[in-house]
Amino acid sequence: MSSDTVTQIVGPGYLATLQGLCKVAETISSLIGVLLVGVDYTGWVVTIFEVAAAFSIIIAVILLLLYVTGVVEKIRFQWNKFQFGAHAILSLYYIVAVGLVLDHGQGISKVIAGGVFGLFAVIAHLLDAFDNYRKQPIF
């Protein structure tokens, strides 16, 4: 690892970082996506999508609160590695859920729109994972 490591911003300024913006985007995109998909559509596909969206919202909000409040500095843990793993695994699960929703949407515009917002959330998770890897490579 090189000596020019990227520092992690903690506190209210975290909201202006790429990770902070990604977490806000993950939360909003997942929330809009689950509302659109769950309105007129039921079944196992919706359940899979809603679980992915719920995990996305929960993880993003908890991590956002931990960084904004500065709790991450008080708890000694490799947060960037944890976030990288969580975002990578969630991205894989979420992309499968989005694919199923878009495939089984049967031309319902709300469901397709919800799937597109799910794709936005996947992109935000992947950007977040990349930024975490950039700050603390796992290998």
Using alpha carbons, select from 91, 95, 98 the residue that is nearest to residue 130.
91
State which residues form the domain around 56: 12-135
Q: What is the pTM of this model?
A: 0.86
Which pair of tokens denotes residue 82?
A: 């944890």
Using alpha carbons, select from 40, 47, 29 the residue that is nearest to residue 118.
29
pLDDT of residue 1: 43
**Mean pLDDT estimate for the chain:** 87
Residue range 113-136: mean pLDDT, rounded: 91
Instruction: Tell me whether residue 7 is in a domain.
Output: no
Distance, CA of 16 to CA of 20 (rounded, Å):
6
Which pair of tokens denotes residue 62?
A: 């908890």
Length of the chain: 139
Predicted confidence (pLDDT) per residue in 34-88, tens digit: 999 887 777 888 899 999 999 999 999 999 999 999 888 888 888 888 888 899 9
Q: What is the number of domains present in the chain?
A: 1
Instruction: Tell me whether residue 5 is in a domain.
Output: no
Which pair of tokens denotes residue 122?
A: 């996947």
